Chains A and B, each alone.
Chain A
Amino acid sequence: MIGELEAKVPAGPLETKWSGYKDHARLVSPANRRKLEVIVVGSGLAGGSAAATLGEQGYHVKCFCFQDSPRRAHSIAAQGGINAAKNYQNDGDSVFRLFYDTIKGGDFRSREANVYRLAEVSNLIIDQCVEQGVPFAREYGGLLANRSFGGAQVSRTFYARGQTGQQLLLGAYQSLCRQIDVGTVKMYSRTEMLDVVLVEGHAKGIITRDLTSGEIEVHAADAVVLATGGYGNVFYLSTNARGSNVTATYRAYKKGALFGNPCFTQIHPTCIPVSGQHQSKLTLMSESLRNDGRVWVPKTKGEQRSPAAIPEAERDYYLERKYPSYGNLAPRDISSRSAKEACDEGRGVGPGGRGVYLDFADAIARLGEPTIRERYGNLFDIYEKITGEDAYQQPMRIYPAVHYTMGGLWVDYNLMSNVPGLHVIGEANFSDHGANRLGASALMQGLADGYFVLPYTLPTYLAGQIGKRPSIDHPAFREAETDVRARIAKMIEVNGTRTVDSFHRELGLLMWDRCGMARNTAGLREALGRIPALREEFWRNVRIPGHGAEYNQSLERAGRVADYLEFAELMCIDALERDESCGGHFREEHQTPEGEALRNDEKFAAVFAWEFQGNGTIEPPRLHREPLHFESVELTQRSYK
């Protein structure tokens, strides 16, 4: 039974909450740190930076990832950049402005105090990364360069070519390697967490499967940190890496952790359109391209001419037309919806009419091809590899795709879930982005959580836990281990006729149609009818070759898809319950006359945190609300016009 949801936000003015917290937070002495073990699941920006920092502080850390190396976490794929309120461009930026842009970008569905803290520590991240040797882009004078990103009128994004995520992750990975070298962190690669273990209500360990040998292992610790990334792959096609999954957070949910705002999904406006049925993933073309590229569609329906043959007067630069002050840099949710609208009207381009142009002709004329090549060369190369088209010569074709999940496990100001000891950081938690994330702010959040927040907040919990680590002989471990083994055996025993991927694909399509860029009551109800049937078929008819005690990729995927088949239902329930539009959650029933998202602050200025119900069964989840109080910003209808 869960009592009142307590966010544990410190008292006092917004600007001093975090410094006040740090001044009075509990500490763990160096001698005691050596006695404490922390499990960090995930080695992306969030997990990698947390594991490294906790190791530096002297805790014993066990870090887990399912890839063959921590350096391959999905964070590696982030392209565009990371925000910070440095105001190096002297264009009027400040901590408050970054905070405000982020909370407004999130359509006022995030917690003020968390977002303010994020903006506050953003500057430290840049300092830290530069010191690690992250080769950020620089100006000729040797100082750091910036670019703009959607949803902001200042230039505050730091970048390393089109490979910012790679460079930031390698920075964190190298710090992690240093701790592995000195022995404070033990790394478990190719190891998947399959359950969290609760002892007397506290998260005290995990159950894992060694993906190489298939061995099931148990690990006890004094606290567990989940940094397992987002669940965009519930849609099958997304910009996420193939292995990204909901398993870790969903398993924790089934053990009692609340899932916050599961339906909040970000659909990114600039991705390469789907080209065929065989497709296994969608590729993002970084939003930074919208700095110089202009988005347009033909004015007339069913236009057949090549883009170059369409004269200026017959083009509709719809973002510039509808949002003159932000233009092509309108936030993601708005840009995505506008693209869908244009295509729904029959003005889309490319195969199937599901695409819009992103045109660099003007920028190339203004700046020259070498400058564009320097800024975006690798993105143009990726585009050419995939489509076979040269974007220096003709406009890119882009279409929105699932990209990021704002929802995640509910956490308080300490980044701890409602389950004591279970902390959640990075994309895996619900915390900072509300109903829509602004570009370049996920990298910021992941590193803020890992380098600068969790290392202060974790001791608040750990200080009271010294000497309380259970032995792995505790019955709770045995029980969880038995459950994990039984589930694997059951899955393999089905021995039906359908492949794991075929289920995943079917689920993905259903979610994209009914719980994607636009949602409505009828569609969500339909999905809620069909998901249980698909799940039932999975457990009756899936085929997983081989056995559990070996390297078995079908089995790995099956476990993840089985969780998606349950989680998808939770997403639809949340989307249905949130009977308003906000950010990326667009309920067709609620829009302004111009077709913008229409919030209902009176009823829905709250986090929806869901509690699992059922015992071997899946019952309707129980809703808890955390009301959102806004003291420093005024709730307005977002306007980017």
Chain B
Amino acid sequence: MNFKLRVWRQEASEAKGRLVNYYATDVSPHTSFLEMLDIVNERLVEKGEDPIAFESDCREGICGTCSLTINGEAHGPDHPGAACQLYMRRFKDGATITVEPFRARPFRLVRDLVVSRSALDRIVQAGGFVSARSGSAPEANSIPVPKHDADLAMEAAACIGCGACAAACPNASAMLFTSAKVSHLALLPQGNAERTARVLRMVGQMDAEGFGNCTNTYECEAVCPAEISASFIAKLNREYALATLRKKSGM
């Protein structure tokens, strides 16, 4: 298969970026999207040019490293899935494909298609945990958790932290990301003690990082490789309202 690529090139955070044309020729349909970029890069290096910087690690959709917007969609057209799980057989032979980095105000561009998502780490640092010192835990089966709650918590916990939700959102909102962590921990008895403080701090941090508000466009849910449901955003809103109330009433 043959493709024309339009790839975002930008040498550094402060440099000016632009779309540059490349050709990917003679690519097997069983090649993954990232492998196709590998092939393009090998040829660029052989010609003495700078390869396209893009990140990946596990290449099986779980580490959340890859951060490509492909033809305007975060992670490309094959939902649900990360860009590393996208295969060239999903495209028409001869197609033109535009590749850009995840864009959201709090994601600083590092180079070409690589961005920094440390803002997401800082949201988790603001309370996205259970304070359980090593060695302090009670026997694991001493607190039964209804299977339904555990399953639902798992659904929220499946978030891979890639940031596609914020990149896809017209307001660059990180509500889906934040709601997944808040919901995961709120659904389990172990997360209960810090529930109020957690949601208030995490939402505060999210705002401080410069992520926008949620206006219910559901773009986040559409691109989420881990199929995190937007209903968790509703849960986040409830948790937040409840916490605000509790805090006001001094509970």
Which A residues are closer than 8 A to B by beta carbons? 49, 52-53, 56, 67-72, 74, 76-77, 86, 88, 123-124, 126-133, 135-144, 160-161, 163, 166-167, 170, 173-175, 177-178, 180-181, 187, 189-190, 212, 241-243, 275-276, 278-281, 283, 382, 385-386, 388, 451-452, 455, 497, 499, 501-502, 543, 545-546, 550-551, 553-554
Contact = CB atoms under 8 A, between A and B. Distances in A.
Nearest to B80: A381
Contacts of B111: 550-551
| Minimum-distance CB pairs A-B, first 9 | A142-B144, A131-B137, A174-B129, A135-B154, A127-B137, A131-B132, A241-B57, A53-B134, A135-B153
Contacts of A135: 150-151, 153-154, 157, 184, 188
Contacts of B57: 67, 72, 74, 241-243
Contacts of A382: 60-61, 85
Given A68-B117, A132-B132, A140-B147, A554 B58 contact: no
A77 B38 contact: no
B129 A554 contact: no
A200 B114 CA distance: 41
Contacts of B89: 388
Contacts of B161: 69, 71-72
Contacts of B81: 385
B182 to A, nearest CB: 12
A501 B42 contact: yes
A142 B59 contact: no
Interface string B51-63: 1010111111111
Nearest to B190: A133
A69 B163 CA distance: 12
Contacts of B34: 280
Contacts of A126: 140
17 contacts: A67-B65, A74-B58, A76-B58, A133-B185, A133-B190, A135-B151, A135-B153, A135-B188, A137-B150, A138-B145, A142-B147, A167-B157, A177-B121, A278-B28, A386-B85, A545-B50, A550-B12
Nearest to A279: B35
A138 B143 CA distance: 12
A69 B35 contact: no
Interface in B167-217: 184-185, 188, 190-191
Interface in B28-50: 28, 30-32, 34-36, 38-39, 42, 45-46, 48-50
Contacts of A161: 154, 158
A217 B122 CA distance: 24
Nearest to B52: A553
Contacts of A278: 27-28, 31, 35-36, 38-39
B91 interface: no
Q: Report which residue of B56, B57, B118 has the largest number of chain A beta carbons within 10 angstroms of its beta carbon.
A: B57
A385 B85 contact: yes
A455 B135 CA distance: 11
Interface of B: 11-12, 27-28, 30-32, 34-36, 38-39, 42, 45-46, 48-51, 53, 55-65, 78, 81, 85, 87, 89, 110-111, 114, 116-118, 120-121, 124-141, 143-147, 150-151, 153-154, 157-158, 160-161, 184-185, 188, 190-191
Nearest to A124: B135
Contacts of B36: 278
A130 B154 CA distance: 12
A147 to B, nearest CB: 15
Contacts of A68: 55, 65, 116-118
Contacts of A76: 58, 62-64
Contacts of B28: 276, 278
Nearest to A123: B140
A143 B158 CA distance: 21
- The dominant DSSP class at the B interface is loop
A499 B63 contact: no
Given A160-B154, A276-B31, A131 B138 contact: yes
A77 B62 contact: yes
B157 A86 contact: no
Contacts of A160: 154, 157
Contacts of B154: 135, 137, 160-161, 167
B32 A127 contact: no
A385 B30 CA distance: 10
Given A278-B38, A551-B12, A545 B48 contact: yes
A135 B129 CA distance: 13
Contacts of A133: 129-130, 153, 157, 184-185, 188, 190-191
Contacts of A243: 57
A212 B12 CA distance: 9
B23 to A, nearest CB: 16
A501 B36 CA distance: 14
B159 to A, nearest CB: 9
A127 B140 contact: yes
A174 B134 contact: no
A292 to B, nearest CB: 20
Given A126-B140, A133-B191, A177 B61 contact: no
Contacts of A280: 32, 34-35, 38, 59
A126 B130 CA distance: 15
Contact of A553 (B53, B184, B188): B53
B158 to A, nearest CB: 6
A54 to B, nearest CB: 9
Contacts of B137: 124, 127-128, 130-131
B134 A77 contact: no
Contact of A545 (B49, B124, B147): B49
A136 B46 contact: no
Contacts of A283: 59-60
Contact of A142 (B42, B131, B146): B146
Nearest to A131: B137
A144 B137 CA distance: 15
Contacts of A455: 134
A501 B51 CA distance: 12
Contacts of A545: 45, 48-51
Given A142-B147, A545-B49, 13 more contacts: A72-B63, A86-B140, A131-B138, A166-B158, A174-B129, A174-B130, A181-B126, A241-B58, A281-B59, A385-B81, A386-B32, A451-B135, A545-B48
Nearest to B162: A72
B131 A178 contact: yes
B147 A451 contact: no
Contacts of B146: 138, 142
A139 B148 CA distance: 10
Contact of A141 (B58, B130, B134, B144): B144
